[in-house]
Amino acid sequence: MRAEILSELSTKHPQPQWGKAALARLHHVDSAIRESMRLNGFVARGIMKTVMAPGGITLPDGTHLPQGVKVGIQAYSVHHDEDFYPNAETYQPFRFVPAPNSRADQEPDTAIASGSDTESSRSSCAPRRLSVDSSGSTSSERKKPLALVTTSPTFLAFSHGPNACPGRFFAANQMKLTLAHIALHYEIDPVAQRPENRWFVGSLGPPFDVRIRVRRRRRTG
C-alpha cells in the first residue's frame, strides 16, 4: 500500500497532491479498508428498520412483528459467510482488487468510481436478481472493482439500499487520507497475535488495554 501511495504522489502526476481522483486510484488502500470493515466491522447489524404499519407485519414463516419493533440483518454473519467470502476468517487486504485480466482492471479510473458518487450509488441499489460468486460480489458487480463505498447484499458495513449511509463517501476519503498519512510517516511493529475483539451491545471493537509500538519513519536521502 505504501508503494501505491508513493506512486500516486510521485512527480509523474502534474500536481502531486490529494484530490478525489487521486484517492480513487488507491485501489489497494481502498480494498484493505473494505476488508477490515468486513472482517472486523464496528457494526454487527445492518439495514436497520422500524415497523411502521399500525397492525405490524407478519413474515412468510408466520413470525409477527408489532408496530415499533426494530429489525435488521446480521451483518457480522453475512461478512463471515464462507459462501460469500472464501477463507472468511482470514484477513486478505487485497481481496477486492480486480484480477489483472478483468475488464475493471483495464478501465480502473472509471470502474473504481462505481458507488463513489450519489447517482451511481442510487443506480447500484436498484432491484436486480442476485447471483453471488466466490469473491462475495453479485454477477452484475463481478467485472468491476468493489470500491469501499459500494454496498451490496453481501457487504453491509454502510447498510444497503436507497437509504445506505449517505456519509460513506466522506468517511471513505477520510480513512484513505488517514491510512496514507500513517503509511508515509510512521512505522508500526506488528504484534505476534491479533488480540480478540470485544463486543459491546451490538457493536464490535478492539480491546483498549493492548499496546502497539509506533515510531516516526526515518527520512532517507
Query: At residue 2, does pLDDT exceed 90?
Result: no
CA gap 98, 14 in Å, rounded:
26
CA gap 194, 122 in Å, rounded:
37
- What pLDDT score was predicted for residue 41? 85
Q: What domain range includes position 13? A: 2-47+75-185
Query: What is the tally of structural domains in the chain?
Result: 1
Burial bucket for residue 115 (CB in 10 Å: 0-12, 13-18, 19+): buried
| Average pLDDT of span 172-199 | 87
CA gap 32, 157 in Å, rounded:
14
- Give Cα separations from 57 to 61, 195, 197 (angstroms): 12, 42, 36
Query: At residue 107, does pLDDT exceed 60?
Result: no
- What pLDDT score was predicted for residue 55? 94
Which three three-digit cell numbers place residue 168? 460513506
Domain contains 130: yes
Domain contains 173: yes
Domain contains 18: yes
- Give Cα separations from 160 to 122, 165, 168 (angstroms): 10, 8, 11
Domain contains 57: no
pLDDT tier at 10, thresholds 50, 70, 90: low
Domain contains 211: no
- What pLDDT score was predicted for residue 210? 84
Query: At residue 118, does pLDDT exceed 70?
Result: no
